């Protein structure tokens, strides 16, 4: 399913309980930082600042180290994640076949920079390293599905089609101002 | 072992194996365990480094220090490779030079190259090596990244674009400071070094020590640009000793056009090895404060201080002193000396008082906080001084810190304890508050204020129960064990623990850990060394050391902490009402005769003088008519619930010799403008008894003069014929009359930078004064006293008020309050209050409360909510005239006062 998205816990109290339990389990253990970050992210979907602080404290590490680890591994997210992730591959193969232009066009199309979420929290763009489909470079992944041999125009088409599918499906649940309508501030920094 | 084990002049060399290797064909002897880099540097071979700092563990990231080792598979990082027998090293082969050039080219490819405006220009490794290796490329497609803005910290600027990712700041803040403000962000090409979330430094626990500034090899972390700043090569450099706390850190003052514009430190030099604290690095602003005194002043008939000449001012002082002396004798005159007076000034001051004025009334402003330690150690060891140094501390397996918020009061000495924590050694902190060290240490005994004695009783008792005593040591070196043992007969560990408010099992565990340590040291701060039971506390600590044989061996020792740069020196110079220079009692007729002969003036038969602790009484009773205050602010420092004001008001004649109009100057009849330490020559003796040079980096401001000179001028007005041309002449005399200083000369200090006076017990000036035995043969156990010195609180006065240091300020704050680098961080004295208590009182962070004591005195201060302060206790520092906390403290020797807090509305 192309519209498949990550599921989150919604019950805040339950999240808090699970997190407290997690911190307790690892308290005082050496090398607890990575499992704590993974656990925290599994509970909250991403790693908000206060979660980072509590993780660092439980692991007995400075916050700077926790943030360092969390920004080193691509598995960790420091920001809430939009429902759907569009990953532009910037690995070597994709890079030489024009990934930069593709990214640029998709950013324009959604009105956000790589690493940002659309204001409606429906889409996010990420720049990633080789996704293992060099044969069809340049590649864009939408959620778990790879789209290859793209041109900037094709990439925009694919994304637009995906948007139509999503927003059509969710019309009426109140979430869906079309992405890109959120303005283009922050585009030219 | 790495270079972190070496300490300047005193390399700790526990019989290491010698290896022979060759570097660039030259045969060299080295110690096993040294790195190639260390050996090369020691033998004059320069190897470039970027990520290396001897204060840090080897890291091996930058690849600048690569060398070729015959037989090795590839080039080796010399900073992390140990020397081996027969090793053949090439440090500058063609291949290596090429590799270094490549490293430099890569770094320069995305470096801003904004050297013309970079604070580090002239002191930048990237510049140095690019020059040395002639890396003159203009890289393809090169576009200068902008350095960016310097950030909002008042002292420390961060320009991420200049960062070469050597990781030194990251590591120094974690390894040395145990804080961790800096970290890496992202990975690979996107890697950066910054604070978490790029927060301003002030928001990430930064203590503004500037260690990261001192280690950054480029201009990425530098001091903020100051208006009077100058390029590195435009400034003159003066090596001197910090004039704040007793740690005695070595500083390098940079002066430009006669003004101190920067303070730097040199890695691997001095006791501090290049580390400083916020005061030492950013607390020099007072030197150029707009209210520096530049002219003598005399109070006129209308009660205003008006500028005058040295001649008139000295004449007026001399007349009053002479009159008082003729009227009532020399003891109607008293001098009190601040802790940043040099040894030379202090010596002359006591000589003036004893030989010219004819009075033993000469004392240090901090005598009260030192008295208990000095007396108890004298009784126990026959030695009133610290028995060890920080190198010894480095070897200790266990360290007990009592009554000191060490990271605030002695920020650089504290790094040794932090290091012990990091190395997994036993660290025990006994303190009512959850101090920074307490939260990092293995054991925190959160004793109630004043109940330290109960914990100590419990600890020694438990050690005896577990047989953790050093019976051989006791038999050979101590007396009085029976009395000591008897005094503990009825002690019950659990009962004592309850009295102290500490969990009994925790006390037992801490006692066992301390007792089992191969070597253990104790640091005692003023929190335990003041109060009604202070002498008993000090005696119990001395017992603890004797019981476990932790005296006179490496890694052991008892450190009574002193608070001022020259607190120890003042005691050594005889700035004590009952002690001559060198420590002999004023009742010692032979010592008096020797001084008389040396000084050519009669001093025999003078009664012991009035100690600072009794000064308030002596002023109020009229026993003392003329008070001569040198570099101290008794109006803020003397304790005595409102009586201080009255005492100073009542004093017949007050002379204030200082660089500023202190609070005491309000009462002054004459004010004499004194130079600051960076305008003076002399020596300080630090808390570990290292004598170090103080050097002038600039001439005295205006008509101000160095203390020693003013004292000499006054003495000559009073009829003496002193002719010291410079402080060096004074030190020559000190060496003659004060036995511990007999080997101290400025020439020697030039050679070795620091020197310990011998203790009077043996003569080598070695690091462990007790190692060859005790004065009088044996150390003496004191019976452990009963009771504690707790504060009686009740419903009307429910809080216990404690005081102490904050890292940013020193003492009564005359200098730190005038230094923007400090006040921009901590401007006002705040009352620290537990959030739960605040809730009960319904006060919010920043609201002002009135703090009143039983005697009716009150101060007002804004509240700072602080979980480190337990409920029922409040903390106020003593550096602010707006919050004169001394008015709330009972006379010397009273317990911490009980106070009431009330909201001040509006
Ligand atoms: S100034 Fe000191 S505490 Fe602050 S970031 Fe630098 S090293 Fe860390
Ligand atoms: S800021 Fe300076 S010390 Fe820190 S990593 Fe960058 S270059 Fe090294
Ligand atoms: S105040 Fe003390 S710790 Fe700080 S720099 Fe000066 S001597 Fe060192
Ligand atoms: S480089 Fe893009 S898939 Fe491999
Ligand atoms: S100094 Fe040796 S690798 Fe950086």
The CATH number of residue A112's host domain is 3.40.30.10
Q: Is B833 in the pocket of ligand 3 (CB under 6 A)?
A: no
Tell me the mean pLDDT in the region B799-809: 94
Does A91 fall in a domain?
Answer: yes
Tell me the three state secondary structure of residue B381: helix
Does A184 fall in a domain?
Answer: no
CB contact under 8 A, B180 and A72: no
**Residue-level pLDDT at B751:** 83
Picking from B173, B183, B440 by the largest number of A CB atoms within 10 A of its own CB, the best residue to mutate is: B183
- Closest residue to B179, CB basis, from A52, A62, A68: A62
Three-state SS across B755-798? ECCCCCCCCCCCCCCCCCCECCECEECCCCCCCCCCCCCCCCCC
Look at ligand 4, atom 1, and give the residue with the nearest C-alpha: A91
* Distance (Å) from CA B129 to ligand 2 centroid: 16
Q: Relative to the CA of B182, which ligand 2 atom is closest?
A: 4
Do A47 and A91 belong to one domain? Answer: no
Do A64 and A103 belong to one domain? Answer: no
Contact B20, B399 (CB under 8 A): no
- Domain boundary residue, one of A49, A72, A95: A72
Its ipTM equals: 0.85
Query: Does the pLDDT at position B28 exceed 90?
Result: yes
Q: Which domain holds residue A103?
A: 84-172
Do A63 and A100 belong to one domain? Answer: no
Going by C-beta distance under 8 Å and a sequence separation of 6 or more, which residues neighbour residue B593? B604
> Average pLDDT, whole number, for chain B?
91
Long-range contacts of A6-10 (CB under 8 A, 24+ apart): A6/A45, A6/A81, A6/A83, A8/A44, A8/A45, A9/A43, A9/A44, A9/A45
Do A65 and A18 belong to one domain? Answer: yes
Contact B895, B793 (CB under 8 A): no
Task: Report H helices in B329-465.
Answer: 343-351, 367-381, 390-395, 406-409, 414-422, 436-440, 452-465
Report the gap between the CA of B207 and the closest CA in chain A (Å).
Answer: 14
Most confident of B299-303, B604-608, B643-647: B299-303
Tell me the mean pLDDT in the region B415-434: 96
Does A47 fall in a domain?
Answer: yes
* Tokens 């490549």 found at: B102
Per DSSP, the residues of B308-322 read: --HHHHHHHHHHHHH
Query: Does the pLDDT at position B421 exceed 50?
Result: yes
Do A89 and A166 belong to one domain? Answer: yes
**Residue-level pLDDT at B388:** 73
Distance CA A65, CA B595 (A): 62
Position B554 confidence tier, pLDDT thresholds 50, 70, 90: confident
Contact B846, B778 (CB under 8 A): no
Contact B850, B860 (CB under 8 A): yes
- Domain boundary residue, one of A72, A94, A111: A72
**Residue-level pLDDT at B385:** 65
Number of domains in chain A: 2
Picking from B188, B196, B205, B867 by the largest number of A CB atoms within 10 A of its own CB, the best residue to mutate is: B196
Does A98 fall in a domain?
Answer: yes
CB contact under 8 A, B186 and A72: yes
**Residue-level pLDDT at B760:** 43
**Residue-level pLDDT at B139:** 56
Which of B56, B178, B205, B208 gets mutated to test ligand 1 (max ligand atoms within 8 A of its CB)? B208
Do A126 and A153 belong to one domain? Answer: yes
**Residue-level pLDDT at B279:** 98
Contact B864, B832 (CB under 8 A): yes
Does A106 fall in a domain?
Answer: yes
Contact B734, B704 (CB under 8 A): no
Do A134 and A161 belong to one domain? Answer: yes
Position B774 confidence tier, pLDDT thresholds 50, 70, 90: low
Does A149 fall in a domain?
Answer: yes
Span B670-701, pLDDT tens digits: 999 999 999 999 999 999 899 999 999 999 99
Q: Percent of chain A at pLDDT above 90?
A: 47
Kindly state the DSSP code that residue B633 receives in the 8-state scheme.
Answer: -
Report the gap between the CA of B114 and the closest CA in chain A (Å).
Answer: 22
- Domain boundary residue, one of A48, A72, A96: A72
Does A5 fall in a domain?
Answer: no
Query: Does the pLDDT at position B323 exceed 60?
Result: yes
Three-state SS across B48-65? CCCCCCCCCCCCCCCCCC
Higher pLDDT among residues B36 and B188, named by residue: B36
Query: Does the pLDDT at position B623 exceed 80?
Result: yes
Going by C-beta distance under 8 Å and a sequence separation of 6 or more, which residues neighbour residue B785? B453, B487, B533, B536, B539, B540
Does A165 fall in a domain?
Answer: yes
Do A91 and A128 belong to one domain? Answer: yes
Kindly state the DSSP code that residue B35 receives in the 8-state scheme.
Answer: B
Do A118 and A167 belong to one domain? Answer: yes
Identify the closest residue of chain B to A48 by CA–CA distance.
B197
Position A189 confidence tier, pLDDT thresholds 50, 70, 90: very low
Residue B83: φ, ψ to 5°: -70, 150
Residue B114: φ, ψ to 5°: -95, 40
Ligand having the closest approach to the CA of B249: 3
Q: Percent of chain B at pLDDT above 90?
A: 78
Task: Kindly state whether A52 is in contact with chain B, defined as any CB-CB distance less than 8 angstroms.
Answer: yes
Query: Does the pLDDT at position B371 exceed 90?
Result: no
Residues of chain B contacting A71 with CB distance shorter than 8 Å? 184-187
Q: Work out the burial of residue B856: count CB atoms within 10 Å of its CB; fewer than 13 is exposed, 13-18 middle, 19 or more buried.
A: exposed
Do A64 and A101 belong to one domain? Answer: no
Position B763 confidence tier, pLDDT thresholds 50, 70, 90: very low
Three-state SS across B468-522? CCCHHHHHHHEECHHHHHHHCCCCCHHHHHHHHCCCHHHHHHHHHHHHHCCCEEE
Position B894 confidence tier, pLDDT thresholds 50, 70, 90: confident
Do A63 and A96 belong to one domain? Answer: no
**Residue-level pLDDT at B325:** 95
Q: Is A6 in the pocket of ligand 4 (CB under 6 A)?
A: no
Geometric angle at alpha carbon A81, from B170 and A109, rounded to 5°: 110
The pTM assigned to this predicted structure is: 0.89
Kindly state the DSSP code that residue B352 receives in the 8-state scheme.
Answer: I
Geometric angle at alpha carbon B532, from B528 and B538, rounded to 5°: 45
Do A62 and A116 belong to one domain? Answer: no
């Amino acid at each position: 399913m192309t519209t498949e998205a990550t599921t989150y816990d919604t019950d805040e109290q339950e999240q808090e309980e699970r997190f407290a339990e997690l911190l307790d389990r690892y308290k005082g253990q050496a090398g607890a930082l990575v499992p704590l970050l993974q656990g925290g992210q599994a509970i909250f979907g991403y790693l908000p600042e206060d979660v980072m602080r509590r993780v660092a404290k439980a692991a007995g590490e400075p916050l700077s180290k926790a943030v360092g680890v969390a920004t080193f591994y691509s598995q960790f997210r420091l920001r809430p994640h939009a429902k759907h992730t569009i990953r532009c591959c910037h690995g070597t193969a994709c890079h030489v076949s024009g990934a930069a232009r593709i990214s640029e066009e998709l950013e324009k199309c959604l009105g956000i920079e790589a690493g940002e979420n659309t204001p409606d929290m429906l889409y996010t763009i990420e720049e990633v390293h080789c996704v293992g489909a060099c044969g069809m470079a340049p590649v864009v992944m939408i959620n778990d599905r790879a789209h290859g041999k793209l041109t900037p125009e094709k990439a925009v088409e694919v994304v637009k089609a995906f948007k139509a599918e999503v927003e059509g499906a969710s019309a009426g649940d109140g979430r869906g101002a079309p992405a890109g309508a959120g303005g283009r501030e922050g585009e030219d920094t | 072992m790495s270079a972190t084990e070496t300490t300047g002049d005193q390399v700790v060399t526990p019989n290491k194996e010698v290896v022979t290797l060759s570097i660039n064909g030259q045969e060299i002897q080295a110690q096993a365990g040294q790195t190639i880099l260390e050996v090369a540097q020691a033998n004059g071979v320069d190897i470039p480094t970027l990520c290396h700092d001897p204060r840090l563990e080897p890291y091996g990231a930058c690849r600048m220090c690569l060398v070729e080792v015959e037989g090795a598979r590839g080039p080796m990082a010399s900073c992390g490779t140990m020397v081996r027998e027969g090793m053949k090293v090439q440090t500058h082969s063609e291949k290596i030079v090429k590799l270094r050039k490549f490293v430099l080219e890569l770094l320069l490819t995305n470096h801003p190259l904004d050297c013309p405006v970079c604070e580090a220009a002239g002191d930048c490794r990237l510049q140095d090596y690019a020059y040395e290796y002639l890396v003159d490329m203009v890289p393809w497609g090169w576009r200068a990244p902008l350095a960016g803005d310097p950030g909002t910290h008042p002292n420390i600027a961060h320009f991420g674009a200049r960062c070469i990712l050597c990781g030194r700041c990251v590591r120094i803040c974690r390894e040395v400071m145990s804080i961790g403000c800096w970290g890496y962000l992202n990975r690979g090409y996107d890697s950066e070094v910054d604070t978490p979330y790029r927060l301003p430094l002030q928001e990430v626990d930064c203590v503004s020590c500037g260690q990261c500034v001192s280690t950054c090899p480029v201009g990425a972390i530098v001091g903020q640009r100051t208006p009077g700043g100058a390029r590195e090569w435009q400034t003159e450099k003066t090596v001197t000793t910090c004039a704040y706390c007793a740690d005695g850190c070595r500083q390098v003052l940079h002066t430009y056009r006669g003004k101190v514009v920067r303070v730097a430190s040199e890695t691997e030099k001095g006791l501090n090895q290049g580390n400083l604290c916020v005061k030492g690095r950013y607390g020099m602003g007072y030197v150029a404060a707009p209210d520096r005194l530049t002219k003598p002043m005399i109070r006129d008939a209308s009660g205003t201080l008006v500028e005058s000449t040295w001649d008139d001012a000295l004449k007026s002082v001399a007349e009053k002193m002479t009159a008082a002396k003729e009227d009532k004798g020399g003891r109607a005159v008293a001098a009190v000396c601040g802790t940043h007076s040099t040894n030379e000034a202090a010596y002359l001051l006591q000589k003036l008082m004893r030989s010219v004025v004819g009075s033993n009334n000469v004392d240090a402003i901090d005598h009260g906080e030192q008295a208990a330690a000095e007396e108890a150690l004298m009784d126990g060891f026959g030695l009133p001084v610290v028995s060890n140094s920080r190198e010894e501390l480095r070897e200790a397996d266990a360290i007990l810190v009592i009554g000191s918020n060490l990271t605030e009061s002695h920020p650089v000495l504290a790094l040794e304890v932090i290091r012990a924590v990091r190395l997994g050694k036993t660290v025990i902190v006994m303190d009512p508050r959850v101090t920074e060290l307490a939260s990092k240490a293995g054991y925190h005994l959160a004793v109630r204020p004043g109940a330290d004695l109960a914990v100590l009783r419990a600890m020694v008792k438990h050690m005896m129960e577990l047989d953790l005593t050093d019976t051989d040591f006791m038999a050979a070196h101590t007396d009085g064990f029976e009395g000591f043992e008897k005094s503990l007969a009825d002690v019950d560990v659990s009962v004592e623990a309850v009295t102290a408010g500490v969990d009994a099992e925790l006390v037992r565990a801490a006692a066992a850990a301390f007792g089992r340590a191969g070597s253990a040291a104790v640091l005692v701060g003023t929190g335990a060394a003041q109060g009604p039971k202070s002498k008993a506390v000090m005696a119990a600590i001395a017992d603890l050391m004797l019981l476990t044989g932790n005296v006179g061996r490496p890694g052991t020792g008892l450190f009574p902490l002193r608070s001022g740069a020259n607190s120890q020196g003042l005691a050594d110079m005889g700035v004590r009402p009952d002690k001559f220079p060198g420590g002999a009692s004023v009742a010692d007729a032979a010592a008096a005769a020797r001084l008389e002969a040396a000084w050519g003036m009669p001093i025999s038969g003078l009664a012991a003088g009035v100690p600072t602790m009794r000064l308030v009484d002596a002023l109020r009773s009229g026993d003392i008519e003329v008070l001569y205050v040198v570099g101290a602010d008794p109006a803020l420092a003397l304790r005595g619930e409102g009586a201080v004001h009255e005492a100073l008001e009542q004093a017949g004649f007050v002379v204030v010799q200082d660089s500023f109009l202190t609070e005491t100057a309000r009462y002054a009849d004459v004010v004499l403008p004194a130079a600051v330490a960076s305008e003076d020559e002399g020596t300080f003796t630090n808390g570990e008894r290292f004598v170090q040079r103080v050097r002038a980096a600039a001439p005295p401001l205006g008509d101000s003069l160095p203390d020693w000179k003013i004292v000499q001028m006054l003495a000559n007005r009073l009829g003496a014929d002193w002719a010291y041309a410079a402080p060096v002449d004074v030190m020559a005399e000190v060496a003659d009359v004060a036995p511990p200083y007999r080997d101290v000369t400025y020439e020697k200090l030039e050679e070795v930078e620091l020197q310990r006076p011998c203790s009077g017990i043996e003569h080598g000036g070695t690091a462990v004064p007790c190692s060859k035995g005790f004065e009088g043969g044996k150390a003496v156990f004191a019976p452990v006293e009963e009771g504690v010195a707790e504060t009686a609180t009740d419903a009307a006065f429910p809080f216990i008020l404690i005081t102490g240091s904050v890292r940013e300020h020193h003492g009564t704050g005359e200098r730190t309050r005038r230094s923007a680098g400090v006040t921009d961080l901590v401007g006002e004295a705040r009352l620290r209050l537990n959030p739960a208590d605040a809730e009960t009182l319904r006060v919010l962070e920043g609201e002002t409360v009135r703090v009143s004591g039983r005697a009716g005195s009150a101060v007002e201060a804004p509240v700072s909510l602080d979980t480190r302060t337990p409920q029922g206790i409040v903390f106020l520092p003593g550096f602010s005239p707006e919050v004169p906390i001394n008015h709330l403290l009972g006379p010397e020797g009273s317990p911490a006062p009980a106070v009431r807090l009330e909201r001040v509305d509006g």
